Amino acid sequence: MEKKAIFELVVEHTCAVIPALKSHLFQPEETLKELGANSLDRTDILDNLMESLSLDIPRVELFGTGNIGELVELLHQYTLKCS
């Protein structure tokens, strides 16, 4: 999947968990934490992303991404690896 499409998925799943962000213009430099997602919210978003991308990898593999752009980059690499 293209990185742009993965970015759109991150936006979609984040808004599903935090509806107040539906009108927000997401930037790759932003972090989910800054946008108001607590640790339980963040794991919900990640779980939904992995399901959408059909990725069966441990969540800990996604730990350490600084911002949304870095998360998209890492997910993209995994989709290439797993396809």
Partner 1 sequence: MTIAGIEAMNVYGGMAYLDVEALAAHRKLNSHRFENLLMKEKTVALPCEDPVTFGVNAAKPIIDALSQEEKESIEMLITCTESGIDFGKSISTYIHDYLGLKRNCRLFELKNACYSATAGYQTAVNFILSGTSPGARALVIATDISRFIVVDGGEALSEDWSFAEPSSGAGAVAMLIGDSPLVFQTDAGASGYYGYEVMDTCRPLPDSEAGDSDLSLMSYLDCCERSFQEYCKRVISVDYRTTFNYLTFHTPFGGMVKGAHRTMMRKTVKADSNPVAKADPAEIELDFKKRVAPGLTYCQRVGNIMGGTMFLSLASTIDQGIFDAPKRIGCFSYGSGCCSEFYSGVVTPEGQKLQRRFQIEEGLNQRHCLSMDEYEALLKGSGAVRFGTRNVRLDFDLISNLNLSAREGKRLLLEEIREFHREYIWR
Residues that bind partner 1 (CB under 8 A): 38-40, 42-44, 46-47, 51, 58-60, 62-63
3-class DSSP state of 57: coil
Residue 46 or residue 72: which is nearer to partner 1 going by CB?
Answer: 46
Q: How far is the CB of 4 from partner 1 (least distance, A)?
A: 26
Residue 25 or residue 40: which is nearer to partner 1 going by CB?
Answer: 40
Spatial neighbors of 59 by CB under 8 A, at least 6 apart, are: 43, 46, 47, 50
Alpha-carbon distance of 55 to 31, in angstroms, equals 22
Q: Does residue 23 contact residue 12 with C-beta atoms inside 8 Å?
A: no
Residue 40 or residue 80: which is nearer to partner 1 going by CB?
Answer: 40
Q: How far is the CB of 74 from partner 1 (least distance, A)?
A: 14
